[in-house]
């Protein structure tokens, strides 16, 4: 990707289709890495690196580990929050367990360690 971006950068008149395809490729790669990061870390140990630093974990509503399927659903729920321009995060203010839209979709909840 970076080589293609560099080649496009050195062209005097880059083709619009090439720029669009490279942009789409970079976007899809970033999305795939984001989903993999959250799914593997939350599904495997219940925490991303940021949650580890803050002492927060993600568990199922019954307190069991979230697992990979729920972690993936939670990531999809985060995408829904993005589509609603962040309005899905407002549910954190109104639920006793501080569950956002992503937690409601996945059946998970954050807990302090």
User: How far from the centroid of its chain's Cα atoms is residue 63's Cα?
Assistant: 22
Three-class secondary structure of residue 75 per DSSP:
helix
What mean pLDDT is predicted for residues 14-29?
83
Structure tokens, 52: 């580890």
Separation of alpha carbons 62 and 15, rounded Å? 54
Give per-residue pLDDT as tens, 29-71: 999 999 999 999 999 999 999 999 999 999 999 999 999 999 9
Give the residue from 92, 90, 74 showing the smallest Cα distance to 34.
74
Answer whether 0.85 is exceeded by the pTM: no
* Average pLDDT across the chain, whole number: 90
Domain assignments of the chain as residue spans, ordered by start:
2-112
Phi then psi for residue 108, to 5 deg, are -120, 175
Whether the CB-CB separation of 112 and 58 falls below 8 Å is answered with no
Residue 90: its pLDDT value, please? 92
């Amino acid at each position: 990707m970076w080589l293609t971006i560099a080649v496009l950068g050195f062209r005097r008149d880059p083709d619009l289709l090439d720029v669009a395809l490279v942009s789409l490729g970079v976007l899809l790669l970033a999305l795939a890495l984001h989903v993999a990061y959250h799914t593997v870390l939350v599904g495997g140990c219940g925490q991303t690196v940021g949650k580890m630093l803050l002492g927060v974990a993600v568990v199922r509503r019954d307190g069991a580990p979230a697992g990979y399927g729920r972690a993936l659903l939670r990531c999809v729920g985060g995408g829904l929050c993005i589509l609603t321009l962040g309005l899905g995060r407002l549910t954190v203010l109104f639920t006793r367990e501080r569950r956002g839209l992503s937690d409601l979709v996945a059946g998970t909840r954050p807990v302090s360690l």
